Amino acid sequence: MRPDILPQLVNGPEGDPAVYANFKYERRAILFDMGDLHLMSARSLLKLSHVFVSHAHVDHFIGFDQVLRLHLGRSKTLDLYGPPGFSDHVEAKLRGYSWNLVENYPHDFRLCVFEVGEGPLQAASFSCRERFSRTPLASLEPLSENPVILDEPGLRVSAILLEHDIPCLAYALEEKQHINVDKVRLEALGLRVGPWIRLLKEAVMNGEPESSQIRVLASGEDGAEREMSLGALREEILRVSRGQKIAYVTDAAFTDGNVEGIVGLARNADILFCEAAFSEEDRIRADERRHLTAHQAGWIARRAEARRLVPFHFSPKYHGRLEVLYEEASRAFEREVGS
């Protein structure tokens, strides 16, 4: 399976937590946590449609200001998710600035903020043209009733609450199905790639009738358009398989409840990004600070039957000797880990 969603650690294993997931065939990306984002280009950050924040510790949330600054004056809505109380954190950030001139902006930027967890939960929108005043929105269901917090035709995002002395969220992003285009068959039919490929995939994900007509692009100099049925295109050029799954876990104490929750969330994940803050030699410190060791991260990934483990959020204590954490995680995972 050639993945359509390409996740990467923004700051490597030692820097502030942030995983940027780029959608290869869409002008879209998703961000898990908002640590320091200065390494990200403006173009990349402007592709964001959703941001999923684990909790509001400074190293997970300080990038909010950069995202806000880039989006001001643009006609766009950005959805943010975080733990209970998160809407208050966002509002406090916004209130730290003066907004007396924003009514004159030609375009309106809006933030929609959703709290995730058990009730009572809040949700709110903050509109630039309204000086980012708070407007209530319909809240999400408690996680005990519905762990899926985002459900689109092609993907879903689920969440669980972890204990980190404060509530902390872990997330899993899943494609409902993976749709790959057979380029050899595409060329054999005299077709070429174009925006219609995305529309074709959306039609399949939305369950449209096979008789639906799709406008395709012919190869050759003229690049003429013609129509083909969804059923014929699906049969000839599409290969549908199991979707990709990406799990993101950080800042979690090694408790029975946390472990069981993570294992369930990350079950069969193609990639599990999991914090590994300390070595087993510093397990007492890890317990005190409510973090996982590299061994614990590897053991959890093996129990979840994840295909790949990417440990991150390493303590600065291990700077210059990161191999200690990688080797420890690898032994527990019983296979090589990513970096």
Predicted pLDDT at 94: 98
Cα 93 to Cα 73, 97, 102, distances in angstroms: 18, 8, 17
Distance CA 167, CA 55 (A): 7
Distance CA 285, CA 13 (A): 19
Predicted pLDDT at 223: 65
> Residue 90, SS3?
helix
Q: Which of 168, 158, 140, 155 is nearest to 275 (CA)?
A: 168
Q: Which helix (H) or strand (E) holds 8?
A: strand 5-9
Distance CA 48, CA 28 (A): 6
Q: Phi/psi of residue 217, each to 5°?
A: -105, 125
Q: Which helix (H) or strand (E) holds 230?
A: helix 230-237
Distance CA 167, CA 251 (A): 10
Give the tokens for residue 116.
């995730």
> What's the DSSP call for residue 323?
H
Whole-prediction pTM = 0.91
Amino acid at 258: N
pLDDT by residue for the chain (339 residues), tens only, comes to 678 899 999 999 999 999 999 998 788 999 999 999 999 999 999 999 999 999 999 999 999 999 999 999 999 999 999 999 999 999 999 999 999 999 889 999 999 999 999 989 999 999 999 999 999 999 999 999 999 999 998 899 999 999 999 999 999 999 988 888 888 888 898 898 888 888 888 888 888 999 999 999 888 766 688 899 999 998 999 988 889 999 999 999 999 999 999 999 999 999 999 999 999 999 999 999 999 999 999 999 999 999 999 999 999 999 999 999 999 999 999 999 987
Distance CA 47, CA 27 (A): 6
